[in-house]
Chains A and B, each alone.
Chain A
Amino acid sequence: NAGVTQTPKFRILKIGQSMTLQCAQDMNHNYMYWYRQDPGMGLKLIYYSVGAGITDKGEVPNGYNVSRSTTEDFPLRLELAAPSQTSVYFCASSFGQGGQPQHFGDGTRLSIL
Protein backbone atom coordinates (compact mmCIF):
# COMPACT_ATOMS: atom_id res chain seq x y z
CA ASN A 1 0.00 0.00 0.00
CA ALA A 2 1.17 3.49 -0.80
CA GLY A 3 -0.69 5.00 2.18
CA VAL A 4 -1.05 8.78 1.86
CA THR A 5 0.63 10.30 -1.18
CA GLN A 6 1.27 14.02 -1.49
CA THR A 7 2.49 15.85 -4.56
CA PRO A 8 4.58 17.88 -5.12
CA LYS A 9 7.24 17.50 -2.40
CA PHE A 10 8.66 20.99 -2.95
CA ARG A 11 7.36 24.08 -4.69
CA ILE A 12 8.29 27.73 -4.97
CA LEU A 13 5.53 30.18 -5.87
CA LYS A 14 5.48 33.87 -6.57
CA ILE A 15 3.14 36.12 -4.62
CA GLY A 16 -0.31 36.08 -6.20
CA GLN A 17 0.10 32.77 -8.02
CA SER A 18 -2.23 29.86 -7.38
CA MET A 19 -1.64 26.16 -7.08
CA THR A 20 -3.17 22.90 -5.92
CA LEU A 21 -1.53 20.51 -3.50
CA GLN A 22 -2.58 16.98 -4.24
CA CYS A 23 -3.36 14.30 -1.66
CA ALA A 24 -4.47 10.74 -2.29
CA GLN A 25 -4.94 7.78 0.05
CA ASP A 26 -5.51 4.14 -0.78
CA MET A 27 -6.65 2.90 2.64
CA ASN A 28 -10.37 3.59 2.13
CA HIS A 29 -10.30 6.12 4.97
CA ASN A 30 -13.35 8.32 5.43
CA TYR A 31 -11.64 11.16 7.27
CA MET A 32 -9.00 13.32 5.63
CA TYR A 33 -7.16 16.40 6.89
CA TRP A 34 -4.87 19.18 5.79
CA TYR A 35 -2.42 20.61 8.34
CA ARG A 36 0.29 23.21 8.05
CA GLN A 37 3.50 23.26 10.07
CA ASP A 38 5.29 26.55 10.56
CA PRO A 39 8.91 26.62 11.81
CA GLY A 40 9.20 25.72 15.48
CA MET A 41 5.50 24.95 15.76
CA GLY A 42 3.23 21.96 15.83
CA LEU A 43 0.75 21.22 13.09
CA LYS A 44 -2.41 23.28 12.74
CA LEU A 45 -5.58 22.13 10.99
CA ILE A 46 -6.55 23.96 7.79
CA TYR A 47 -9.50 21.92 6.49
CA TYR A 48 -10.93 18.50 7.01
CA SER A 49 -13.39 16.11 5.42
CA VAL A 50 -15.43 13.31 6.97
CA GLY A 51 -16.43 11.79 3.64
CA ALA A 52 -16.84 12.44 -0.06
CA GLY A 53 -18.73 15.67 -0.64
CA ILE A 54 -18.34 16.86 2.98
CA THR A 55 -15.70 19.41 3.97
CA ASP A 56 -15.33 21.94 6.75
CA LYS A 57 -12.92 24.56 8.06
CA GLY A 58 -10.27 23.97 10.68
CA GLU A 59 -8.32 26.50 12.73
CA VAL A 60 -6.51 28.34 9.91
CA PRO A 61 -8.62 28.14 6.71
CA ASN A 62 -8.12 31.65 5.33
CA GLY A 63 -6.54 31.67 1.88
CA TYR A 64 -7.29 28.01 1.16
CA ASN A 65 -10.02 25.92 -0.39
CA VAL A 66 -10.66 22.19 -0.59
CA SER A 67 -12.90 19.72 -2.34
CA ARG A 68 -13.60 16.04 -1.81
CA SER A 69 -15.26 14.47 -4.83
CA THR A 70 -13.96 10.94 -4.12
CA THR A 71 -13.00 9.00 -1.01
CA GLU A 72 -9.40 8.79 -2.20
CA ASP A 73 -8.55 12.40 -3.09
CA PHE A 74 -8.50 15.60 -1.06
CA PRO A 75 -6.77 18.46 -2.92
CA LEU A 76 -5.90 21.77 -1.23
CA ARG A 77 -6.10 24.92 -3.33
CA LEU A 78 -4.20 28.17 -2.73
CA GLU A 79 -5.82 30.91 -4.81
CA LEU A 80 -3.62 33.97 -4.24
CA ALA A 81 -0.35 32.91 -2.67
CA ALA A 82 0.95 35.14 0.12
CA PRO A 83 4.29 35.01 2.01
CA SER A 84 2.37 34.01 5.16
CA GLN A 85 1.49 30.74 3.44
CA THR A 86 5.13 29.66 3.34
CA SER A 87 5.01 26.45 5.34
CA VAL A 88 5.15 22.67 5.22
CA TYR A 89 1.77 21.13 4.40
CA PHE A 90 0.71 17.70 5.56
CA CYS A 91 -2.22 15.63 4.42
CA ALA A 92 -3.51 12.92 6.74
CA SER A 93 -6.27 10.34 6.78
CA SER A 94 -7.97 8.00 9.23
CA PHE A 95 -10.91 5.63 9.48
CA GLY A 96 -12.77 8.11 11.66
CA GLN A 97 -14.03 8.23 15.20
CA GLY A 98 -12.77 6.26 18.14
CA GLY A 99 -9.30 7.74 18.35
CA GLN A 100 -8.21 6.15 15.12
CA PRO A 101 -4.59 7.13 14.42
CA GLN A 102 -4.04 9.50 11.54
CA HIS A 103 -1.69 8.43 8.78
CA PHE A 104 0.36 11.24 7.30
CA GLY A 105 1.83 11.93 3.90
CA ASP A 106 5.45 13.02 3.54
CA GLY A 107 4.54 16.69 3.34
CA THR A 108 4.93 19.48 0.79
CA ARG A 109 7.39 22.27 1.46
CA LEU A 110 5.97 25.44 -0.08
CA SER A 111 7.81 28.74 -0.33
CA ILE A 112 6.10 31.95 -1.45
CA LEU A 113 8.53 34.59 -2.69
Chain B
Amino acid sequence: AQTVTQSQPEMSVQEAETVTLSCTYDTSESDYYLFWYKQPPSRQMILVIRQEAYKQQNATENRFSVNFQKAAKSFSLKISDSQLGDAAMYFCASQINFGNEKLTFGTGTRLTIIP
Protein backbone atom coordinates (compact mmCIF):
# COMPACT_ATOMS: atom_id res chain seq x y z
CA ALA B 1 0.00 0.00 0.00
CA GLN B 2 1.11 3.52 -0.73
CA THR B 3 1.02 6.27 1.86
CA VAL B 4 1.76 9.97 1.54
CA THR B 5 2.26 12.20 4.55
CA GLN B 6 2.19 15.98 4.68
CA SER B 7 3.06 17.04 8.21
CA GLN B 8 2.40 20.77 7.79
CA PRO B 9 -1.35 21.50 7.77
CA GLU B 10 -0.70 25.22 7.28
CA MET B 11 2.19 27.38 6.16
CA SER B 12 2.56 31.08 5.52
CA VAL B 13 5.15 33.14 3.69
CA GLN B 14 5.75 36.78 2.92
CA GLU B 15 5.19 37.79 -0.67
CA ALA B 16 8.41 37.49 -2.74
CA GLU B 17 9.99 35.14 -0.20
CA THR B 18 10.71 31.42 -0.55
CA VAL B 19 8.77 28.64 1.15
CA THR B 20 9.25 24.87 1.29
CA LEU B 21 6.40 22.40 1.72
CA SER B 22 7.26 18.96 3.05
CA CYS B 23 6.10 15.55 1.90
CA THR B 24 7.16 12.02 2.74
CA TYR B 25 5.89 8.86 1.12
CA ASP B 26 6.13 5.15 1.52
CA THR B 27 6.16 2.56 -1.22
CA SER B 28 7.69 -0.83 -1.87
CA GLU B 29 7.67 -0.26 -5.62
CA SER B 30 10.69 0.87 -7.60
CA ASP B 31 8.85 2.41 -10.56
CA TYR B 32 6.73 5.33 -9.47
CA TYR B 33 6.05 9.01 -9.96
CA LEU B 34 5.49 11.88 -7.57
CA PHE B 35 3.37 14.97 -8.07
CA TRP B 36 2.45 18.24 -6.45
CA TYR B 37 -1.05 19.53 -7.15
CA LYS B 38 -2.38 22.97 -6.28
CA GLN B 39 -6.00 23.52 -5.27
CA PRO B 40 -6.97 27.21 -5.11
CA PRO B 41 -10.28 28.36 -3.60
CA SER B 42 -11.87 27.74 -7.00
CA ARG B 43 -11.50 24.03 -6.15
CA GLN B 44 -9.65 23.11 -9.35
CA MET B 45 -6.85 20.55 -9.08
CA ILE B 46 -3.89 21.98 -10.97
CA LEU B 47 -0.71 20.04 -11.65
CA VAL B 48 2.30 21.97 -10.37
CA ILE B 49 5.20 19.59 -10.93
CA ARG B 50 5.97 15.93 -11.69
CA GLN B 51 9.00 13.85 -10.71
CA GLU B 52 10.02 10.49 -12.15
CA ALA B 53 11.49 8.34 -9.38
CA TYR B 54 14.20 6.86 -11.61
CA LYS B 55 15.55 10.32 -12.40
CA GLN B 56 18.00 11.75 -9.88
CA GLN B 57 17.65 15.25 -11.22
CA ASN B 58 15.13 17.36 -9.34
CA ALA B 59 12.22 18.63 -11.43
CA THR B 60 11.72 22.37 -11.87
CA GLU B 61 8.88 24.43 -13.35
CA ASN B 62 9.60 28.15 -13.34
CA ARG B 63 9.40 29.27 -9.68
CA PHE B 64 8.58 25.75 -8.47
CA SER B 65 11.19 23.12 -7.77
CA VAL B 66 11.41 19.91 -5.78
CA ASN B 67 13.98 18.33 -3.51
CA PHE B 68 13.62 14.62 -4.19
CA GLN B 69 15.47 12.42 -1.69
CA LYS B 70 14.73 8.88 -2.83
CA ALA B 71 16.48 7.03 -0.03
CA ALA B 72 14.70 9.12 2.58
CA LYS B 73 11.42 8.94 0.63
CA SER B 74 11.09 12.69 0.82
CA PHE B 75 9.65 14.99 -1.84
CA SER B 76 9.49 18.65 -0.81
CA LEU B 77 8.23 21.55 -2.93
CA LYS B 78 10.05 24.87 -2.98
CA ILE B 79 8.24 27.96 -4.17
CA SER B 80 10.50 30.89 -4.93
CA ASP B 81 9.45 34.53 -5.19
CA SER B 82 6.03 33.73 -3.70
CA GLN B 83 3.09 35.52 -5.28
CA LEU B 84 -0.42 36.19 -4.03
CA GLY B 85 -1.74 33.77 -6.64
CA ASP B 86 0.21 30.95 -5.02
CA ALA B 87 -2.19 30.93 -2.09
CA ALA B 88 -3.89 27.52 -2.16
CA MET B 89 -3.98 24.01 -0.76
CA TYR B 90 -1.05 21.97 -1.99
CA PHE B 91 -1.30 18.20 -2.26
CA CYS B 92 1.55 15.78 -2.64
CA ALA B 93 0.68 12.55 -4.46
CA SER B 94 2.33 9.31 -5.54
CA GLN B 95 1.53 7.10 -8.51
CA ILE B 96 2.77 3.60 -9.22
CA ASN B 97 3.63 2.83 -12.83
CA PHE B 98 1.48 -0.28 -12.89
CA GLY B 99 -2.16 -1.29 -12.99
CA ASN B 100 -4.69 1.46 -12.47
CA GLU B 101 -2.13 4.24 -12.02
CA LYS B 102 -4.22 5.78 -9.28
CA LEU B 103 -2.97 8.74 -7.32
CA THR B 104 -2.46 8.42 -3.56
CA PHE B 105 -2.77 11.84 -1.95
CA GLY B 106 -1.53 13.40 1.25
CA THR B 107 -3.85 15.49 3.41
CA GLY B 108 -2.58 18.78 2.03
CA THR B 109 -0.86 21.96 3.21
CA ARG B 110 -2.73 25.26 3.17
CA LEU B 111 -0.36 28.01 2.00
CA THR B 112 -1.09 31.63 2.87
CA ILE B 113 0.78 34.48 1.20
CA ILE B 114 1.23 37.57 3.36
CA PRO B 115 1.32 40.80 1.33
Contact = CB atoms under 8 A, between A and B. Distances in A.
Contacts of B102: 33, 45, 48, 58
B95 interface: yes
Contact of B100 (A41, A50, A90, A107): A50
B33 to A, nearest CB: 3
B97 interface: yes
Contact of B50 (A31, A35, A99): A99
Contact of A97 (B45, B97, B103, B107): B97
Interface residues of B, number: 24
Contacts, number: 63
A100 B35 contact: no
Contacts of A43: 45, 91, 103, 105
A53 interface: no
A35 B103 CA distance: 10
Contacts of B105: 42-44
Given A42-B4, A42-B91, A97 B98 contact: yes
Contacts of A103: 47
A56 B103 contact: no
Contacts of B42: 106
B29 to A, nearest CB: 12
A44 to B, nearest CB: 8
A50 B100 CA distance: 7
